[in-house]
Amino acid sequence: MRIDSAEFLTSAKDLEACPRSALPEVAFIGRSNVGKSSLVNMLTKQRGLAKVSKKPGATKLINFFTMDKWWSLVDLPGYGFAKVAKGKQADFNLAVSEYLMGRKQLKLICALVDSRMEPTELDLGFFNWMHEEECPVPHVIVFTKTDEVKEDVWRRNMAIYEETLDALGLKVPEMIPCSSVDRAGRGVLLQYIQGALPKRKKKGSGTGVQLNWMKKR
């Protein structure tokens, strides 16, 4: 799949404030600083589309970007930076968890993890939360920043992720290594996203059914 046009649509502070648009959505979630906003820019080939920062906590709202006028990329604030809620509450922003659980047009969650590291408690906590809440949306794991380490390192970390999720009784989803610096994984991720989106109706294709017979003379 190609992306020919990408535009910022709006920001929302919570699920209620999300746009009424019915376009299918793909969301990027992960801990602060893992590279979500950078990945939006990498996929769209627009450097300044989403705000990137060296400091964690750059993205504070739910940001919607419209792709080719028919689907949306949603850049979420990172977990592990917003104030942690107590008790049974998920270990990340309530607005984000409500969006992930309640947004009808959300078709795919891309959960970003750092390819340089073995699974962290924070990330495993997120996968466990999705499992416990029976999150209805399918997810894929995107391993970010592969340009920062040798291939054997991120491959090893991917294998450890698989083993750990399996040992915890959690789903072991598709895993895609990516780099926003050298654009590795771009094609694979776009193809995966395409598979999760509904089929795009071709312009002017209509139903293909001859309707002339219905016309009154």
Ligand X SMILES: Nc1nc2c(ncn2[C@@H]2O[C@H](COP(=O)(O)OP(=O)(O)OP(=O)(O)O)[C@@H](O)[C@H]2O)c(=O)[nH]1
Residue with tokens 């340089």: 116
CA distance 44 to 50: 10
Residue 24 or 35 with smaller CB distance to ligand X? 35
Contact region for ligand X (CB under 6 A) — 32-40, 65-73, 135-143, 153-161? Answer: 32-40
In the set 6, 33, 110, 165, which binds ligand X (CB under 6 A)? 33
| Touching ligand X, residues 74-93 (CB under 6 A) | 77-78
Angle between the 121-132 and 151-167 helix axes, to the nearest 10 degrees? 40
CA distance 145 to 74: 20
Closest CA to 110 of 135, 80, 85, 143: 143
Q: In this structure, is the dihedral angle defined by the CA atoms of residues 17, 40, 23 and 106, taken in order, positive or negative?
A: negative
Pattern 116-155, ligand X, x by CB under 6 A: ----------------------------xx-xx-------
Pattern 148-187, ligand X, x by CB under 6 A: x------------------------------xxx------
Kindly compute the dihedral angle of the four CA atoms of residues 80, 82, 86, 89, in this order, to the nearest 10 degrees. Answer: -80
Residue 29 or 141 with smaller CB distance to Mg ion? 29
In the set 44, 59, 72, 157, which binds ligand X (CB under 6 A)? 59
Residue 34's binding partner out of ligand X, Mg ion, none, with CB under 5 to 8 Å set by partner kind: ligand X
Nearest distance from C-beta of residue 64 to ligand X, angstroms: 15
Other Cβ atoms within 10 Å of 177 Cβ, number: 20
Residue 24's binding partner out of ligand X, Mg ion, none, with CB under 5 to 8 Å set by partner kind: none
Q: Give the CA angle between residues 147, 124, 130 to the nearest 5°.
A: 115
In the set 2, 20, 54, 203, which binds ligand X (CB under 6 A)? 54
Write out the two tokens for 116: 């340089």
Residue 147's binding partner out of Mg ion, ligand X, none, with CB under 5 to 8 Å set by partner kind: ligand X
CA 195 to chain centre: 14
Write out the two tokens for 182: 């050298």
Q: Which residues bind ligand X (CB under 6 A)?
A: 30, 32-38, 52-54, 56-59, 77-78, 144-145, 147-148, 179-181
